[in-house]
Amino acid sequence: MFIVTMVFMTGLIFAVQQILYQYSFIDPADPMQRNDAPLFYMIRDSYNVSIETPGLTFSRANQSVQELHTWLMTRGMGPYNLELRYNGLADPDLKRANWGTSSPALILNVHLTGPTTDSRATYRFYG
């Protein structure tokens, strides 16, 4: 009788543990669904590395921007819709005349829409 009771108690504890486990599960994507700031930071930092790396030539920076644009557009942002405008245009292209000057080589407008957000940001990058 003692063994049957122990088997029953073990099964009961296991069942309760499985029921409670689903409430303690950490969802790593949950903050992203409630806050779009990490997505804006990721986009800004990626373009910053692509353009403002010391010693980068104009042609290599322009190629990096185009590759990053292609990667972002084909990868997607989960439930978000991403729209990027480059110097007011949809085509990613740096301004050669502004490269190495005090004027921005790229003005990036980011428009992010999703189930709970409709956010915009503008970033200026200097070559």
Q: Examine residue 17 and state whether it is found in any structural domain, yes or no.
A: no
**Domain span holding position 81:** 32-125
Number of structural domains found in the chain: 1
Residue 86, Cα to own-chain centre: how many angstroms? 18
- Give CA–CA dist 125/51, Å, rounded: 7
| pLDDT for position 33 | 61
Domain membership flag for residue 15 = no
Cα–Cα distance for residue pair 103/95, rounded to 1 Å = 9
For the full predicted model, state whether its pTM sits above 0.85: no
What is the rounded CA–CA span in Å between residue 39 and residue 50? Answer: 17
Asked whether residue 87 is assigned to any structural domain, the reply reads yes
Could you tell me if 95 and 87 are in contact, meaning their C-beta atoms sit under 8 angstroms apart? yes
What's the pLDDT tens digit per position in 28-60?
A: 666 556 677 888 888 889 888 888 777 888 888
Quote the DSSP letter at residue 115. Answer: S
